[in-house]
Amino acid sequence: MTEDEKAGAAKKMSSSETSSEGKKKKESEETTLSEEDLELQQHLDSLVGTAIGEPKFETAPLPTQGQRRSAIEELRKEVRMASATVAAIPKALKFLGRHYARLKHGYVKEKEAKGVVTESSLTEKDVRMFADVLSVVAMAYSDAGEEACESLKFRLEGSANAEGDLPTKDKLIDLDPWGQEYARSLMGEVTRAWHSLEDREKGKRDEVAAKDADAPSAVEYQKVVDRSSLEHLVDSIVPFQLKHSCEPDAVDLLLEVEHLEKLGQHIDEHNYGRVCLYLLSSCHFLPPPEDRMVLECAYKLYTQVKQYPDASIVAIKLNDVGKLRESFKACDGLKEDAFVLKCQIAYVAVGANHGADLTEVIEEMEDSDAKETLEEIVSNSRLSEHFINVARDLDVVEAKTPEDVFKQHLVESRGAGAIDTARQHLANAFVNGFVNAGFCKDKLVCDPEEDASANMSKSNLIFKNKDHGKISATASIGLISLWDIDGGLPMVDKYLYSKDTNILAGALLAVGVTCAGTQSDCDPALALLAEHLSFEEGDVAPGTMATRIAAIMGLGLAYAGNPRPAVTELLVPIITDDTHNSEIIGAAGLSLGLIHAGTANDDAIQTLLQVLMMRGSELPAHKLGARFLCIGLGLLFVGKGDEVDAVLEVIKTFDKDVSQYCTVVVETMAYAGTGNVLKVQQMLAMVSELCQPPEKANPGEKESSSEKEDNKKKDQCDGETNFVSVLAVALIALAEDVGMEMAHRNLEHILQYGNKSARKAVPLAYALLHMSDPEVALLDTLGRLTHDSEMEVAHNAILALGLMGAGTNHARIASMLRALSGFYCKDSQSLFIVRCSQGLLHLGKGLMTLAPGRADKTLLSQVALSCIASFMFICSDMKESILGSGHYLLYLLVPAIRPRFVVTLKKEEDNDKLKHQPVSCHVGTAVDVVGQAGKPKNITGFQTHNSPVLLGVGERMELATEKYVSMSPVNEGFVVIKDNPDYQE
């Protein structure tokens, strides 16, 4: 026997062995079936044969129409019972799967023989019921691949209900008998079919892959699915999913088929909450303009069910003033609750720095107690009163001194160093201001027992400072009397007449700080600061410049997020005046950006673009004044997204020294808080590019002095741009948790592989992601960076510790900062930053926060984000700013400060006024309940308190009693409550 013959014989033996093994396996499977399963299998086999019109044996007659109908109905019953389970493929469906090809062949044969009528022919109704069976079996056993969507095609030819009726426009398909898994399978096929339809319409239909020649032959059931039949099926699936608490599935399906507007037909007071919560959560993961479409849909749904406070939150997220006012006015339709709902919307708007948007609507109301109360809310005039009442309840009213914060007796010092007394007094002024912020009294600066002639008192901390240090020391009075215009301005007033220009400048800045976050009809900040904005030509003495810059910055802080035309008219001429130096122009540009944050005001944009275009060569990016102007321009576009594209094209025409920096700043602020992944990747690419060492044109030649100067200037500008690019990663990604996690990973790589300018931005980027929210895992990283060999990295890491723990009194951060104060006791600059961080950590004695998130992180306050981002951009060169004469820039954080308490208010019985109403409540860690089944708890690990209570980042408050009903969708800040009409003792 030859070798070929031997190989052929071996092959035949192996094939015979394989076939015999297959037969044995099949026989063993049959023998392993229980009697019940075997009986079910034989019963289904018989039903399949009857349904497709085959005789039971060769000599038997063909089954009649009635017999076939009965078999199909029996099969429908078995399939319905099978599709009700979700644990595994049911036995009935498994047994029918073997016959799928026969069933499909029989169905196609019946459709083709439609014109020929015999005794065994099926009626149209029977054929529809046959299609129902095939649709369910195809869900698991289709032999034509996913793209064929056979289950969907059979479903579209099936019946509408158990009676086998034809689906019509008015008669939806009843999916209840077929179960949840079948509905989900249909959704997937509907989505695929919809996309293939779109591709076909656009002429982009993919080529169908050739079938494998060895594959078993299958009857191809071809049918072009039309759009109207798909829409009809979608109309049937959506109410089914909503009925069975699968709101995310329904929303996803409507998003895929681009018919989100159909949600409104199926929303009621029972399911709107879960649907809208999913819509708000999903908007972060959708590209523009779909993200806005989803938010607008949520707004319509909330308005439809008359949940106007929820609608106002969505309107603010959309940055749509018209919708905010519309939801406010719509409360009039609910006569009994109109007042409390309006108050709650006003508190929500003020909390997000949108109170000014409601001013006009409230002014149009008739004079009444309600109007007066709403004006008080929108102006924030009683915020100081509420804050001090909460402090009194918590027994923290007594003023603290810097020594109470430093706890120097616990510090292990490395020996006495060369102490810079002036810087130490300046640090004490900042710490004193931050710790006693909002309490209207302290022991070092504005002691009420001090004589009115304290202008000359040497015991006052202000006069212990020297030169420009007096500016920040005097301005700390404004921080101590924060939000209290009536009580704070008299304390500042006596310094407004000082002959010392630094004290005068500090007093002007204090006016702006005191008025930050509030509104007043008499506009005290504008009245007091306007007269100091002008001086005679040629008068550029340092003292005059200081007072002027302080007045400009004071206006920016006082009217941040509150664009007043009168203030804009004052600042624009200063910016466009060619005789002013870069510091004054920069301060005015930054203030203009703060005032019009997120508004994209045309006048402000044109003014800043004109100055940067005309004077770009005089304003390279490494100069503070130029950076101020670029930051001011960026603030105008906070959260505006692609609206900034036209301005970015104009910026490309600027001088090269400022163009790149300005582009990154403006683009960063436009996409801040949007979570736009493409922009994060763009910024990472920019960081990677700028971290590469520059290539020399002629490596062998020596550089001339002018070339060295140019290269040094370019390196400084690139360093500033790189610094902002790193911060941009955090600014854009802080919208949602997944983006934040990815930003963490990227920042770790930058910290490991980046150059100096990139590395020094990383600690501040971490702080941005966790503002007033200490992340234990990051504290170790920041702790290492505080001892970094590069002092700029160490300084920013120290400051990041203070920002991350701002207002939390976090014990571990306090211990770390105390240790650092001992470690850097001989370094006055590092010690100054440690002291400032200690002051921030104990901000408002733990009653305040810097976190920009509002309404359970649904919103990001544009004003808070603008102030924090501006401050961090400036920290790229601390020696020129905070550690130099620009230490007053720390007050940029003031408009971002807000109380972190929850106060419950109730309407008085006799009039439209609100009064404080203590309520029992639960405070615990927030739980993400988006898309979860049933009614999960919103908080975990809660404790029970009586309001007012303090909330940290990531915590929620819920009422612990059913006696009252909250008007607020998110219990934070000021919560208006009312008696529960259904409550019984």
Cα dihedral 60, 66, 67, 72 sign: positive
pLDDT digits (tens, 9 = 90+) for 810-829: 999 999 999 998 888 888 88
843: confidence class by pLDDT, cuts 50, 70, 90: very high
In sequence order, the β-bridge partners of residue 540 are: none
Contact 913/920 with Cβ under 8 angstroms?
no
**What is the pLDDT averaged over residues 668-677?**
90
Task: Name the residue among 627, 791, 623 with its Cα closest to residue 713.
Answer: 623
What confidence score (pLDDT) does residue 88 get?
58
Q: Is residue 206 predicted with pLDDT exceeding 70? A: no
What is the C-alpha separation between 770 and 779, in angstroms, rounded?
11
Residue 132 belongs to some domain of the structure: yes
Whether 138 maps to a domain, the answer reads yes
Rounded Cα–Cα distance for residues 28 and 32 (Å): 6
The two structure tokens encoding residue 381: 């005039």
Q: 907 is in which domain, residue-wise? A: 900-984
As beta bridge partners, residue 926 has 939
- Banded pLDDT at 93 (limits 50, 70, 90): confident
pLDDT for 701 equals: 63
Q: Which residues contact 730 (CB under 8 A, 6 or more apart)?
A: 743, 747, 765, 766, 768, 769
Pairing mode, strands 973-979 and 901-907: parallel
What was the pLDDT predicted at 84?
57
Give the three-class secondary structure for 918.
coil
Q: Report yes or no on 255 lying in a domain.
A: yes
pLDDT at 417 over 60: no
Q: What is the mean pLDDT of residues 861-868?
A: 92
Burial of 316 (0-12, 13-18, 19+ CB in 10 A): buried
Is the pLDDT reported for residue 766 higher than 90? yes
Alpha-carbon span 428 to 170, nearest angstrom: 76
CB-based burial label for 218 (10 Å; 0-12, 13-18, 19+): middle
Q: Flag whether 855 is in a domain.
A: no
**Cα dihedral 373/374/377/379 (nearest 10):** -110
Q: Using alpha carbons only, what angle is made at residue 978 by residues 972 and 982, rounded to the nearest 5 degrees?
A: 120
Single residue among 241, 265, 289 that ends a domain in this structure: 265
* pLDDT tens string 941-964: 888 999 889 988 888 899 988 899
| One-letter amino acid for residue 253 of the chain | L
**Nearest by Cα to 228 from 137, 279, 156, 147:** 156
Query: In sequence order, what are the residues at sequence separation of 6 or more whose Cβ sits closer than 8 angstroms to the Cβ of residue 370?
Result: 339, 342, 912
Contact 766, 704 (CB under 8 A): no
Structure tokens at 278: 């999913």
Backbone torsions φ then ψ of 416, nearest 5 degrees: -70, 135
pLDDT at residue 220, as a whole number: 40
Burial class for 223, CB neighbours closer than 10 Å (0-12, 13-18, 19+): middle
Q: What are the φ and ψ backbone dihedral angles of 640, each rounded to 5 degrees?
A: -85, -15
Measure the CA–CA gap between 479 and 515, rounded to whole angstroms. Answer: 10
Q: Residue 6: which pLDDT band, with cuts at 50, 70 and 90?
A: low
User: Would you state the pLDDT for residue 637?
Assistant: 93
Cα 212–Cα 213–Cα 216 angle in degrees, nearest 5? 85
Q: Determine the Cα–Cα distance for residues 436 and 398; give it in Å rounded to an integer.
A: 9
Query: Would you place residue 159 in the very low, low, confident or very high pLDDT band (cuts 50, 70, 90)?
Result: confident
pLDDT band at 173 (very low <50, low <70, confident <90, very high): confident
- State the Cα–Cα distance between residues 861 and 853, nearest whole angstrom: 6
Is the pLDDT assigned to residue 568 strictly greater than 70? Answer: yes
The sign of the torsion formed by the CA atoms of 14, 15, 19, 22 equals positive
Q: Mean pLDDT highest for which of 42-56, 411-425, 485-499?
A: 485-499
Q: Is the pLDDT of residue 22 over 60?
A: no
> Which tens digits make up the pLDDT trace of 65-83?
888 888 888 888 877 766 5
Q: pTM of this prediction?
A: 0.86
pLDDT for residue 245 is more than 60: yes
Cβ-proximal residues to 13 (8 Å cutoff; 6+ apart), any chain: none
- 336 Cβ contact partners less than 8 Å away, ≥ 6 residues apart: none
**Angle in degrees, 0-180, between the axes of helices 762-769 and 791-804, rounded to the nearest 10:** 10
pLDDT attached to residue 212: 43
- Could you tell me the two tokens for 811? 């014990």
Q: Which residues, 6 or more positions from 642, have their beta carbon under 8 angstroms from its beta carbon? A: 288, 670
Q: 441 exposed, middle or buried (CB, 10 Å; 0-12, 13-18, 19+)?
A: middle
What is the per-residue pLDDT across 519-553, written as a single tens digit (0 to 9) for each?
887 888 888 888 888 755 544 555 578 888 899 99
Please state the domain count of the chain. 2
CA distance 412 to 820: 10
Structure tokens at 915: 């009064």
Write out the two tokens for 623.
Answer: 């100069």
Residue 577 in any domain: the answer is no
Does residue 140 lie in a domain region?
A: yes
Q: What integer best gives the mean pLDDT of the chain?
A: 83
Provide mean pLDDT across the span 577-590: 87
What's the rounded Cα separation, in Å, for the pair 972 and 3? 87
Pairing of strands 973-979, 920-926: unpaired
The dihedral sign for the CA sequence 817, 822, 825, 826: negative
Span 418-422, average pLDDT: 65
Q: What is the pLDDT of residue 324?
A: 92
Percent of the chain whose predicted confidence (pLDDT) is above 90: 30
Phi, psi of 25 (to 5 degrees): -65, -40
Highest mean pLDDT among 216-220, 619-623, 690-694, 774-778: 774-778
Q: Which two tokens stand for residue 192?
A: 């695929």
List Cα–Cα distances, 644 to 173, 562, 673, in angstroms. Answer: 47, 21, 15
- The answer to the question of residue 259 being in a domain is yes
Structure confidence at residue 533 (pLDDT): 80
| Beta strand pairing call for 939-946 and 949-950 | unpaired
What tokens appear for 56 in the block? 């039971």
The closest of 594, 755, 730 to 673, measured between CA atoms, is 730
Greater confidence (84 vs 254) lies with 254
Specify the pLDDT at position 24: 47
User: In this structure, is residue 155 part of a structural domain?
Assistant: yes
| pLDDT > 50? residue 743 | yes
What is the rounded radius of gyration, in angstroms, for the C-alpha atoms of the chain?
Answer: 36
Question: Rounded mean pLDDT of 84-92?
Answer: 62
Helix, strand, or coil here: 934?
Answer: coil
| Least confident segment among 104-108, 379-383, 723-727 | 104-108
Separation CA 750–CA 752 (nearest Å): 5
| Predicted local distance difference test score (pLDDT) of residue 872 | 93
Output the pLDDT for position 178.
Answer: 80
Instruction: Provide CB contacts within 8 A for 707, sequence distance 6+.
Output: none
Instruction: Express the helix, strand and coil content of the chain in percent, nearest 5 each.
Output: 60, 5, 35
Least confident of 39-48, 377-386, 417-426, 756-765: 417-426
The confidence score (pLDDT) of residue 837 equals 94
The tens digit of pLDDT for each residue in 475-527 reads 999 999 999 888 888 888 888 888 888 889 999 999 999 998 888 878 888 88
Strand (E) or helix (H) holding 365: none
* Residue 200: per-residue pLDDT: 75
The position carrying tokens 């700080």 is: 513
What's the whole-number mean pLDDT along residues 665-675?
91
Range in 109-113, 177-181, 221-225, 798-802 with the lowest mean pLDDT? 221-225
Residues 6+ apart with CB under 8 A from 221: 104, 107, 108, 144, 148, 150, 153, 154
- pLDDT at residue 838 in the model: 94
Residues 6+ apart with CB under 8 A from 560: 353, 516, 517, 594, 595, 597, 863, 866, 867, 895
